[in-house]
Amino acid sequence: MSHVAVADPRATLMAAREELLGAFAAVLERGRYILSEEVAAFEREWAARCGVPHAIGVSSGTDALALALRAVGVGPGDEVLVPAMTAIATWMAVSQIGAVPVGVDIEPDGGGMDPEAARRACGPRTRALVVVHLFGQPANLAALGEVARAADVPLIEDAAQAHRARLAGQPIGSLGAAAAFSFYPTKNLGAVGDAGAVTTPDPAVADRVRVLREYGWRTRADAEVCGVNARLDEVQAAFLRVMLGRLDENIDRRREIAAAYLGALADVAGLELPVSRADSEPVWHLFAVRHPRRDALAAALEQAGIGTAVHYETPPHLNTAFRPGGWPEGSFPVAERHARTALSLPMHPALRDPEVDRVIEQVNRAASEI
């Protein structure tokens, strides 16, 4: 019996194999490999897709978030509110620039930052609020925007998992002072390696990110500020342009799979399904369910040839790197419950209908047996 993978970036990329090889050959033959026409073209195309005037290609999603924070004025010692349930990269981007991540618990249903908890976490050293659209589900930006405005700090979107998601009809990536995207291969829009981008409606923020991503240069005659090397290369930009042409089709497939799961697994005992905001259009980067006996469910599915994953087994505040921040176990009960119970089911555009049916069948069987 074949194994159903929880994610399969190779299959998604191989579907575009000839186009990707052609894009690679074109870059190779031109002989311009860093910050040239492919990067500029991808930046224009991605900005248009996100409904903003500016997109700046960078080397990874983590660098995108770090540079976005620096560009809005966050620096060493400043506090940045971050969700207590997210990929560790969100917290790492804050610490990378010398700022201090301040954890905020999440909402019980959607998994996004809890606005009331964020309001309580604001303090005199708060300089930004990072909202994560976890698993491709838009967060509660209306309420979180009010928190940011009341604290007089910028709201930054971590949109690493939310390519082309929308909230109240508006594209994710256009709703804050800036947004950070990751194009890691497993993402809805994935490169053949690491890549990222910052989007922003603000020309000053865009200019700052462009300067910071390449040694602080505006011209090579002078480094204006202490920047970094976080450039998007031409080959990855060319690959991203190819995959951008397939993004909407791939997201449509993810939505079909999610609809099948939501319809067929609604009555499974003990299983909590993801909940989308009524005003949102999620893009289902991951389909994370919750079950009180998560590990037993995962083991049973693996035995049946169904791949699963945990996003995320250890909340950021309980990682060794952040333990000195003073958050013992129990600090963020909703996030910690999610970490104990969450299980991601197979979700990628290469999943065939019989495989989706098999996942549904095996989840029903395993849940009833445990």
Q: Share the mean pLDDT of the chain.
A: 97
Phi-psi map region of 210: left, alpha, beta (phi>0 left; psi -120 to 50 alpha): alpha
Eight-class DSSP state of 338: H
Whole-number percent of the chain with pLDDT over 90:
97
CATH superfamily of 247-369: Aspartate Aminotransferase, domain 1 (3.90.1150.10)
> The dihedral of CA 58, 347, 238, 167: what is its sign?
negative
55, 41 Cβ separation under 8 angstroms:
no
311: pLDDT confidence band, cut at 50, 70 and 90? very high
For residue 30, is pLDDT > 80?
Answer: yes
Task: Please name the helix (run of DSSP H) or strand (run of DSSP E) that holds residue 217, with its range, or none.
Answer: strand 217-219
- Residue range 69-85: average pLDDT? 98
User: What pLDDT, in 10s, does the model give residues 250-264?
Assistant: 999 999 999 999 999
What residue ranges do the domains of the chain occupy? 9-241, 247-369
Three-state DSSP class for residue 124: coil
What distance in Å separates the CA atoms of residue 91 and residue 124, rounded to the nearest whole number?
A: 20
What distance in Å separates the CA atoms of residue 286 and residue 188, rounded to the nearest whole number?
A: 9
What distance in Å separates the CA atoms of residue 264 and residue 266, rounded to the nearest whole number?
A: 6
User: What pLDDT, in 10s, does the model give residues 37-49?
Assistant: 999 999 999 999 9
- Residue range 327-342: average pLDDT? 96
**CATH fold label, 9-241:** Aspartate Aminotransferase; domain 2 (3.40.640)
Give CA separation, 279 vs 138, 155, 207, 249, in Å.
Answer: 9, 19, 32, 22
In this predicted structure, which of 54-68, 84-98, 289-303, 318-332 has the lowest mean pLDDT?
318-332
- In this structure, what token pair is assigned to residue 333? 């009960």
> What phi, psi does 256 have (nearest 5°)?
-65, -45
230, 63 Cβ separation under 8 angstroms:
yes
58, 35 Cβ separation under 8 angstroms:
no
> What phi, psi does 82 have (nearest 5°)?
-135, 150
314, 256 Cβ separation under 8 angstroms:
no
User: What pLDDT, in 10s, does the model give residues 117-157?
Assistant: 999 999 999 999 999 999 999 999 999 999 999 999 999 99
304: pLDDT confidence band, cut at 50, 70 and 90? very high
110: pLDDT confidence band, cut at 50, 70 and 90? confident
> The dihedral of CA 298, 274, 357, 364: what is its sign?
positive
Q: Which residues contact 169 (CB under 8 A, 6 or more apart)?
A: none
Whole-model pTM above 0.95? yes
What distance in Å separates the CA atoms of residue 133 and residue 160, rounded to the nearest whole number?
A: 8
Chain-centre distance of CA 133, in angstroms?
7
- In this structure, what token pair is assigned to residue 69? 């924070």
Cα distance between the two ends of the chain: 22
